[in-house]
Structure 1
Amino acid sequence: MSEPTRTQRLGAYAVVLRDAHILLTRISPAGYPAGAWTLPGGGVDHGESPHDAVVRELHEETGLQALTSRLVDVHDVHVVAQGRDDQYEDYHGVHLLYAVTVDPSVKPHVVEVGGTTDVAMWVPIDRVGSADHAPVLPMVTHALERADHFAAGV
């Protein structure tokens, strides 16, 4: 077996909580791993502020505008396995997790059609990981285990 491709990726993600619901997005067939549920967000572009990236990604993936955003936590994942395009990969993802508030009267919808997100929706927290909303990426579980840290005003 050949040496794995080494990839490190910095992403900024929105943890948006509302009335026992969390805002989640589903990874489209264009993304990896397709069909998994995750937090709205994604890669920080070269030269882009992570604070700007989370606002941009939230809008692209959900159509929602961030009213407030506050950096709360950092999560990371390190995996050495078959990855994108069945390539052996040594992947390290670093995820900046922001507590974000949005206008609850606006319905989430994917703005960037054809990208790596195909669904955006409010999911009842007690249904995360259920048959309708599985699998979820580890950062979702991480955020939910610390939901009190992401509550408004903390």
Structure 2
Amino acid sequence: MRKKLRVAAYAICVRDGQVLLARWLDDGKPKWTLPGGGMEHGEDPGDTVLREVEEETGYHVEVTGLLGVRSVRFPSRRRFGRTLDQHHVGLVYEARVTGGELRFEVGGSTDMAQWHDLDAVPALTRVPLVDDGLRLWRERPATGQPGG
């Protein structure tokens, strides 16, 4: 079985009771996610989150803390019946907007960004990363792991 490791960095930006989310295009089924994405080889994860948030939302952010790490492993089916053992490691940072203007990404993995009321998030079609990230933001666990 082929193995694939993906390391990514994401931002939780909360202001005035709202969280900034990006709409991810998952095989034509849009889902809300945290702004962020995969690290490039040799890139520092702190630089990754700054780059990805700007690409997906138009905002410039300042990292104010590392909230934790989310590690998820799952198999997926690939072409010709092959199975891929995927392992995603996501560093979740707290960040605040320092500049820029809200805009949508063009030609990327997301198609829009939007502020959402925190109490409206449970009703959104979203990826599990959103709930895990908000749990890290609210609880700030000593282990740095959601639910830990």
What is the TM-score when the length of structure 2 is the normalising length? 0.82
* Cα-to-partner distance string for 1:55-110 (whole Å, 9 max, x where unaligned): 000000000001344222001111113369x963211100000000004x865212
- State the Cα RMSD in Å: 2.6
Q: Which of 18, 22, 28 matches 2:15? A: 18
Determine the C-alpha separation between the residues in 2 that align with 1:87 and 1:60.
33
| 1:8 equivalenced with 2:5 (yes/no) | yes
What does residue range 61-100 of structure 1 map to in structure 2 within 5 Å? Answer: 61-82=56-77, 88-100=83-95
What does residue range 1-154 of structure 1 map to in structure 2 within 5 Å? Answer: 3=1, 5-28=2-25, 31=26, 34-82=29-77, 88-103=83-98, 107-110=101-104, 112-130=105-123, 133-134=124-125, 136-148=126-138
Provide the aligned length of Structure 1 versus Structure 2: 140
Unaligned runs of 5+ in 2: 141-148
Percent of aligned pairs with the same residue? 37
What is the TM-score when the length of structure 1 is the normalising length? 0.79
More strand by share: 2
Could you say what secondary structure the match of 2:107 adopts?
coil
Structure 1 segments of 4+ aligned residues over 6 angstroms from their partners:
none
Could you say what secondary structure the match of 2:61 adopts?
coil
